[in-house]
A and B are shown apart, each in its own frame.
Chain A
Amino acid sequence: MATMLFDIYRYDPEQGGKPFMQRFELDNIDPGMMLRDALIRIKAEQDETLTFRHSCGEGVCGSDAININGTNGLGCITPLSELKQPVKVRPVPGMPVIRDLVVDMQQFYHHYREVKPYLIRHEPEQEVEFLQSPEERDKLDGLYECILCGCCTTACPSFWWNPDKFRGPAALLQAWRFLADSRDQNTAERLEELEGPYKLFRCHTIMNCANVCPKGLNPTKAIGLIKQLMLKRQI
């Protein structure tokens, strides 16, 4: 595979006008090259105005969430060999575009902050470590690994229609991460905060979130467990 075609979403707020797709042709594609590598080369060799976020390059920082051929994913861990040409690269859906592939994540972080993603204790702080049994620690597996890339939340139709009210899969996965933590003492308040028709209950078990998560996590399952906990505490 020597040459590849890319159609990339372009938007420049200073020029005004509507976003458009721009075709790039890139040669000397190495086997094993990732989409992020291709974007870096296009920027270096063909158009230095092409704008996108990236950092670690190995699926850890979560900076380069983009929509690749219609599905959200991280550019840095998406091999070019798996992609159909022309590779259509767009920003993640539903978020305000700042420039090209860079979106405004403020709304996403707002919901994340609202679930209070940290341990809350009501008892006075103890001066030694909070001990957890291996079983209690196991409950956090599949939750703590989230890198907050936003692939899940921006693939969720419920979030597209209610971005200001529905917390979204990423924030709700974190809500469950702290509800499930044996060291946290804020369960009642956390559940109360999620009451109402929107924040939690806009999830309709579509599972687009789990389908796109680059870390293989399952926010739908976490949301189901929050609902179960709510139910158990009300009976």
Chain B
Amino acid sequence: MGKKLKKNRPRFLTLWQIKLPVMGVVSILHRISGLFVFLVMPLLLYLLELSLRSPAGYQQVTALMTSWPFRVGGWLLLALFAHHLFAGIRVLLIDMEWGSALASARRSAWLVMVAVVVVLVAGTLL
């Protein structure tokens, strides 16, 4: 009886009803961005290889890169890559006890978000 009751007990774990602090958001985005950057790597390597194969291949890749779906994809990838890089550096610094206090960890999490926006704006302008 006791075991059966225990097994049927509900748990409150409705993620959208649990408030995530900015550090939590940065952490989850760090994992998601890492996964996407990893998955897209073979495609990028293929495009690099194609562009180096011949002048025709280079032209083909250039044409592809200037098409709007690729531009949007590239923009998104830049955001994910920048986020993964900055969030990763942040975690390394916290591991070295730089900014491991709550207030500074919160500040550095916001800094990661702002840095991604700055990179995106710079990437759009350049």
Residues of A within 8 A of B (CB): 9, 11, 13, 18-19, 67, 69-71, 88, 90-98, 104, 155, 157, 160, 204-208, 210-211, 216, 218, 220-221, 224-225, 227-228
Contact = CB atoms under 8 A, between A and B. Distances in A.
A210 B28 CA distance: 17
Contact of A104 (B6, B13, B24, B27): B6
Nearest to A206: B27
Contacts, number: 90
Nearest to B9: A96
B94 A70 contact: no
A69 B27 contact: no
Label chain B's interface by main secondary structure. Answer: helix
Contacts of A18: 10
Interface in B57-87: none
Contacts of B102: 207, 210-211, 216, 218
Chain A CB within 10 Å, residue with most, of B6, B19, B28: B19
A9 B14 CA distance: 12
Interface size range of chain B in the complex: 20 to 34
A97 B18 CA distance: 16
A91 B12 contact: yes
Contacts of B101: 218, 221
Contacts of A160: 13
Contact of B97 (A70, A93, A224): A224
Contact of B19 (A69, A94, A204, A205): A69
A98 to B, nearest CB: 7
Contacts of B23: 206-208, 211
B18 A218 contact: no
16 contacts: A19-B10, A90-B17, A91-B12, A92-B12, A93-B11, A97-B9, A155-B18, A207-B21, A207-B23, A207-B27, A211-B102, A211-B106, A221-B97, A224-B95, A224-B100, A227-B95
Nearest to A212: B21
Contact of B11 (A97, A216, A227): A97
Given A70-B18, A94-B12, 7 more contacts: A13-B8, A92-B12, A95-B12, A97-B11, A157-B28, A208-B20, A210-B105
Nearest to A98: B9
Interface string B95-115: 101001110011000000000
A95 B11 contact: yes
Contact of A205 (B6, B12, B20, B94): B94
B100 A220 contact: yes
B9 to A, nearest CB: 4
Contacts of B27: 157, 204-207
